[in-house]
């Protein structure tokens, strides 16, 4: 079996409060995009093994390994699986590569063994990571709680998206800690009165985006601000850091304009660049 595991971007991320379990309560609009890792599975093995190309990945610390191990434990099945991951999505970019891989493993094993409902699979996924439940369905969704409460979001336009990864990782835990330290001084719009969920899309050419973590992360990583400025110079309709970073995306209504921006960033050999679309 082979499964494609998409990346994601957060069009909107509002952080509320820290929870007793260490997570934060959030409100986010999370969307899959057409950047994929490819996972191949060989079932009915004696043990669980994971091989990543082109990089070498550890076993126990890999989310795909953890997902397989947890699936067999929850299903009370004594078996193993060989997983081969061909990586395209950069790690530590805020694009959800590891979480998507974990969800793909759970989905593949569930398809093979026909054990759990989608709802149960999402609950299992949350034990691995807050973004994993989203990737079980991989459809645009409002996520609340720590990310495990999902509400399908319809009506998104398949915007052209250019994603720029500056080839450094931002620790998610560090980003949230930094947010907690300086949130009182941040110029955050989450103090304004809003409806329960903002109207993210008004028309094809009007999209509302925001990320609370951006102002916490940017002072320590000025490259993120520089990339956003370059997106604006290249006529992006909107630009934002995704998740806790470090990847930045630009939204374009026009494919030719997106392609020109993609070619502009591609000239910088210190960046990894993708020209893609929202999956809606």
The CATH number linked to 44 is: 3.30.230.10
Residue positions annotated with a catalytic role: 8, 131
Domain shared by 85 and 139, yes or no = yes
Domain shared by 197 and 129, yes or no = no
Domain shared by 168 and 143, yes or no = no
CB count in 10 Å sphere of residue 36: 20
Domain shared by 137 and 210, yes or no = no
Contact 167/271 with Cβ under 8 angstroms? yes
Residues present in the chain in total: 280
Q: What local confidence, expressed as pLDDT, does residue 58 receive?
A: 62
- Rounded to 5 degrees, φ, ψ at 132 are -60, -45
Domain shared by 223 and 102, yes or no = no
Domain shared by 90 and 6, yes or no = yes
Residue 278 carries which DSSP code? B
Domain shared by 28 and 137, yes or no = yes
**Euclidean distance between CA atoms 157 and 87, whole angstroms:** 27
Of 152, 186, 216, which residue sits at a domain end?
152
Of 94, 119, 152, which residue sits at a domain end?
152
**Euclidean distance between CA atoms 15 and 25, whole angstroms:** 6
pTM over 0.85: yes
**Euclidean distance between CA atoms 250 and 122, whole angstroms:** 30
CA dihedral 84, 64, 108, 41 (to 10 degrees): 20
Domain shared by 117 and 164, yes or no = no
Range of the domain at 272: 160-277
Domain shared by 126 and 167, yes or no = no
**Euclidean distance between CA atoms 66 and 69, whole angstroms:** 5
Of 102, 132, 152, which residue sits at a domain end?
152
Identify which of 100, 90, 107 has the alpha carbon closest to the alpha carbon of residue 63. 100
Domain shared by 22 and 140, yes or no = yes
pLDDT per residue of the chain (280 residues) written in tens, 0 to 9: 999 999 999 999 999 888 888 889 999 999 999 999 999 999 999 999 999 886 656 666 789 999 999 999 999 999 999 999 999 999 889 999 999 999 999 999 999 999 999 999 999 999 999 999 999 999 999 999 998 899 999 888 889 999 999 999 999 999 999 998 887 665 554 444 444 445 555 445 567 789 999 989 999 999 999 999 999 999 999 999 999 999 999 999 899 999 999 999 999 999 999 999 999 9
Side-chain-side CA neighbours of 224 within 13 Å: the count stands at: 24
Report the interhelical angle of 63-75 vs 118-126 (nearest 10°). Answer: 130
**Euclidean distance between CA atoms 77 and 113, whole angstroms:** 9
Domain shared by 97 and 198, yes or no = no
Contact 97/91 with Cβ under 8 angstroms? yes
Write the CATH number for 185.
Answer: 3.30.70.890
Helix, strand, or coil here: 197?
coil
Domain shared by 180 and 244, yes or no = yes
- Give the total number of structural domains in the chain: 2
| Peptide bond just before 54 cis, omega within 30 deg | yes
């Amino acid at each position: 079996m082979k499964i494609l595991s998409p990346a994601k971007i957060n069009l909107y991320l509002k952080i509320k409060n820290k929870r007793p379990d260490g997570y934060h309560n959030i409100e986010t609009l999370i969307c899959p995009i057409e950047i994929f890792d490819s996972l191949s599975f060989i079932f009915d093995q004696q043990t669980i093994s994971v091989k990543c190309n082109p990089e070498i990945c550890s076993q126990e610390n890999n989310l795909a390994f953890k997902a397989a191990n947890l699936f067999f434990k929850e299903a009370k099945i004594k078996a193993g699986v060989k997983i081969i991951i061909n990586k395209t999505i950069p790690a530590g970019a805020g694009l959800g590569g590891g979480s998507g891989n974990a969800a793909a493993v759970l989905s593949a094993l569930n398809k093979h063994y026909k054990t759990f409902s989608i709802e149960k699979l999402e609950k299992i996924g949350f034990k691995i990571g807050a973004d994993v439940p989203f990737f079980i369905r991989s459809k645009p969704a409002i996520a609340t709680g720590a990310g495990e409460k999902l509400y399908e979001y319809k009506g998104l336009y398949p915007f052209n998206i250019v994603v720029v990864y500056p080839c450094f990782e931002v620790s998610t835990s560090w980003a949230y800690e930094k947010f907690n330290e300086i949130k009182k001084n941040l110029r955050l719009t989450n103090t304004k009165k809003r409806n329960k969920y903002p109207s993210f899309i008004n028309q094809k050419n009007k999209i509302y985006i925001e990320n609370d973590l951006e102002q916490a992360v940017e002072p320590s990583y000025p490259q993120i601000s520089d990339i956003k400025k370059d997106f604006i110079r290249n006529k992006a309709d909107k630009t934002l850091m995704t998740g806790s970073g470090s990847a930045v995306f630009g939204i374009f209504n026009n494919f030719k304009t997106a392609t020109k921006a993609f070619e502009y960033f591609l000239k910088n050999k210190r960046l990894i660049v993708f020209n893609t679309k929202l999956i809606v």
